[in-house]
Amino acid sequence: MVLPPEYAGWDELRGGSRDDFRAGIVVRPGLDTTLHFEFLRRGIGSVVVWAIDQDSLAVPEREVILYSPRGVLGFDTTDASGRAEFRSVAFGNYGVRATAPDTFQTAGAVLEVVRDGLLIDQGRRETVVLSMPRCRGSIAVRVEDASGIGVAGAIVTRYTGAGVGPQLTTDPSGAATFLKVPCGVHGVFVTPPEGYAGTWARDSQFVDDLTIRVGTIKNVTLRLTKRP
């Protein structure tokens, strides 16, 4: 099949051989032998990239690279919504890649997200989602008295070297669990509810140096004293 110069085959664009022929066609009365061929029209398109985490939340300020087999062709940075865009992309076969922030990294490895095989032809607007899972774990806290009975209504605060973080209130069993804790070093302390007192000491009213890695569940016990 001879194509007009403004068209190309899908396999040709991917770097393979032309696939615009069919062999072994059977023709007989009553048999539909209609054949369909689809081609790409040479021209300009665009690529839109969305960088998101595992909760579909935007990952802003990520440099996205557009490349082809010939090398790097362009750069853009994701905005507050996690979006980057490459306009006026010439007819061809492309890929995009981006690197997750440091807080997303796992055990010191660089998390680079790649999407290849983007075929751009006339008027095509290719949308790509780059998923960057955050590195995080959880901290399960139990607040108890000297008898080992859970203390309800205690305020447990999570903190890091950068400052104080979120707070939770213990349930009737004295438990409170921080979920989706970013990887890194954390600490927790408890504020006694009415009728209880604490001793400000490590492994009593606070615990620090809790290292969170991917999937980590840190179990912590904090202790208070019931007032007479």
Residue 153 pLDDT more than 80?
Answer: yes
Question: Residues 102, 142: one domain?
Answer: no
Mean pLDDT for 101-116 is: 78
Question: Residues 12, 120: one domain?
Answer: yes
CA distances, 87 to each of 43, 97, 115 (Å):
12, 16, 17
Domain boundary among 131, 158, 182: 131
Q: What are the φ and ψ backbone dihedral angles of 24, each rounded to 5 degrees?
A: 70, 30
Q: Is residue 35 part of a domain?
A: no
**pLDDT for the residue numbered 25:** 64
**pLDDT for the residue numbered 178:** 98
Residue 37 pLDDT more than 70?
Answer: no
Question: Residues 199, 218: one domain?
Answer: yes
Mean pLDDT for 49-73 is: 95
d(CA 89, CA 86): 7
Task: Name the residue with higher pLDDT: 19 or 95.
Answer: 95
Residue 6 pLDDT more than 80?
Answer: no
Mean pLDDT for 102-113 is: 73
Residue 23 pLDDT more than 60?
Answer: no
Q: Is residue 34 part of a domain?
A: no
Residue 101 pLDDT more than 90?
Answer: no
Q: Is residue 52 part of a domain?
A: yes
Mean pLDDT for 67-88 is: 96
Q: Which domain holds residue 66?
A: 7-17+41-131
Q: How confident is the model at residue 31 (pLDDT cuts 50, 70, 90)?
A: confident
Domain boundary among 131, 147, 175: 131
**pLDDT for the residue numbered 38:** 67
Question: Residues 149, 60: one domain?
Answer: no
Question: Residues 145, 80: one domain?
Answer: no
CATH number of the domain enclosing 72: 2.60.40.10
Q: Is residue 31 part of a domain?
A: no
Domain boundary among 112, 131, 150: 131
Mean pLDDT for 63-90 is: 96
**pLDDT for the residue numbered 166:** 96
**pLDDT for the residue numbered 188:** 98
Question: Residues 119, 93: one domain?
Answer: yes
pTM metric for this prediction: 0.68
Q: Is residue 51 part of a domain?
A: yes
Question: Residues 12, 106: one domain?
Answer: yes
Q: Is residue 53 part of a domain?
A: yes
Question: Residues 12, 103: one domain?
Answer: yes
Residue 4 pLDDT more than 90?
Answer: no
